Amino acid sequence: MLDQVEVEVRAGAGGAGCVSFHREKFVPLGGPDGGNGGRGGHVSALATAQTNTLNRYRHTRRIDAKAGQPGESNNRHGRAGEDTILDVPAGTVVIRLSAQDEPEEVIADLRTDGQVALLARGGRGGRGNTYFKNSINQAPRVAQRGHRGETVRLRLELRLIADVGVVGLPNAGKSTLLRALSAARPRVGEYPFTTLEPALGVVAVGWGEFVLADLPGLIEGAAEGVGLGHDFLRHTARTRLLLHLIDGSVTDPVGAYDTICHELEAYSAELARRPQLVVINKIDLDDVGARRADIEAAFRARDIQPLFVSAAAGIGARELAERCARNLQEVREAIPAVPRELPIIKPKADSRRFHVHQESDGVYRVAGAQIETFVEMMDMENELSREEAYRWLARRGVVAALRRAGVQAGDRVRVGDIEWEWEQ
The 10s digit of each residue's pLDDT in 27-36 is 777 889 999 9
Per-range mean pLDDT, top range of 71-85, 168-182, 326-340 = 71-85
Mean pLDDT along residues 403-415: 93
- How much is the average pLDDT of 308-317? 89
Cβ contact 398:366 at 8 Å: yes
pLDDT score at 231: 55
- Residue 373's pLDDT is 93
Instruction: Output the CA–CA distances (angstroms, integers) from residue 183 to 79, 205, 222, 232, 272, in the order listed.
Output: 50, 13, 29, 22, 29
Identify the pLDDT of residue 217: 55
Q: Give which of 294, 226, 285 is closest to 254, Cα–Cα.
A: 294
Average of pLDDT values for 415-423?
A: 92
- The residue among 51 and 375 whose pLDDT is bigger is 375
192 versus 120: the higher-pLDDT residue is 120
What's the average model confidence in pLDDT over 265-274?
Answer: 76
- Residue 221 has a CB neighbour count (10 Å cut-off) of 14
- Provide the β-strand partners of residue 110: 92
Q: What is the mean pLDDT of residues 50-74?
A: 90
Q: Please determine, for residue 233, whether its predicted confidence score (pLDDT) is greater than 80.
A: no
Give the pLDDT score at 123: 95
Q: How many CB atoms lie within 10 A of CB 294?
A: 9
Whether pLDDT at 82 is above 50: yes
pTM of the model: 0.72
Tell me the pLDDT band of 401, cut-offs 50, 70 and 90: very high
Residue percentage of the chain with pLDDT more than 70: 86
Split at pLDDT 50, 70, 90, the class of 23 is: confident
Q: How far apart are CA 26 and CA 17, in angstroms?
A: 27
Helices and strands: H and E segment counts in the chain: 10, 18
- Position 133 pLDDT exceeds 50: yes
The residue ranking higher by pLDDT, 161 or 264, is 264
What share of the chain has pLDDT > 90, as a percent?
Answer: 48
- Residue closest to 6 by CA, chosen among 222, 223, 152, 224: 152
What is the pLDDT, as a whole number, of residue 113?
86
Q: What pLDDT was estimated at residue 271?
A: 74
Measured between alpha carbons, how far is 83 from 6 in angstroms, rounded to an integer? Answer: 20
pLDDT of residue 374: 94
Question: Rounded distance, CA 120 to CA 132, Å?
Answer: 29
90 pLDDT above the threshold of 80? yes
> Residue 226 above 70 pLDDT?
no
Q: Is the pLDDT of residue 61 over 80?
A: yes
Parallel/antiparallel/unpaired status of strands 62-64 and 4-10:
parallel
CA-CA distance, 330 to 333, in Å (whole number)?
Answer: 5
pLDDT digits 0-9 by tens, 330-345: 887 876 654 555 555 5
What pLDDT score does 337 carry?
54
Residue 265: how many other CB atoms lie within 10 Å: 13
Q: Pick the residue with more confidence: 195 or 123?
A: 123
| 298-316 average pLDDT score | 91
Kindly report the average pLDDT of the chain as a whole number.
Answer: 84
Q: What are phi and psi of 52, to 5 degrees?
A: -130, 10
Q: Among 100-109, 299-308, 362-371, 397-406, where is mean pLDDT lowest?
A: 100-109
Q: Where do the DSSP E strands lie in 135-240?
A: 151-158, 164-167, 199-205, 208-214
Could you tell me which residue, 163 or 190, shows the higher pLDDT? Answer: 163
